[in-house]
Amino acid sequence: MKKIKRAYAPPASAGGVRILVDRLWPRGIKKENLRLDAWLKDLAPSDDLRRWFGHDPARWAEFQARYFSELDAMPQALEPIRQAARVGTVTLVFSAHDPDHNNAVALKAYLEK
């Protein structure tokens, strides 16, 4: 099972393995305060794609298509998430303000297809 959670929200006791999937560290959070099992910044969208998207919901569909193409090019980078999901719950942690249009939502959809 895969869940998503904003980095600024307190971790849930049933969150399982928590993996940060952003390229940049969440602003204002100390590393010791963000309970994580891994930080897979290579799974985040490229800097060019992240800047182009700019969290604009009007670009969501195209963002997902471009992001999925990037993910298709690096299947080995997804293996830590797949391994953790075989054992239990995985929570993809993100820092974007928009809970519906961010790379963690897109990554979860990609992994579930």
Domain boundaries, the chain: 2-112
For the segment 49-108, what is each residue's pLDDT rounded down to a tens digit? 999 999 999 999 999 999 999 999 999 999 999 999 999 999 999 999 999 999 999 999
Q: What is the mean pLDDT of residues 25-29?
A: 95
Alpha helices in the chain (DSSP H): 47-53, 60-72, 79-87, 103-112
pLDDT at 13 over 90: no
**What is the value of pTM for the model shown?**
0.94
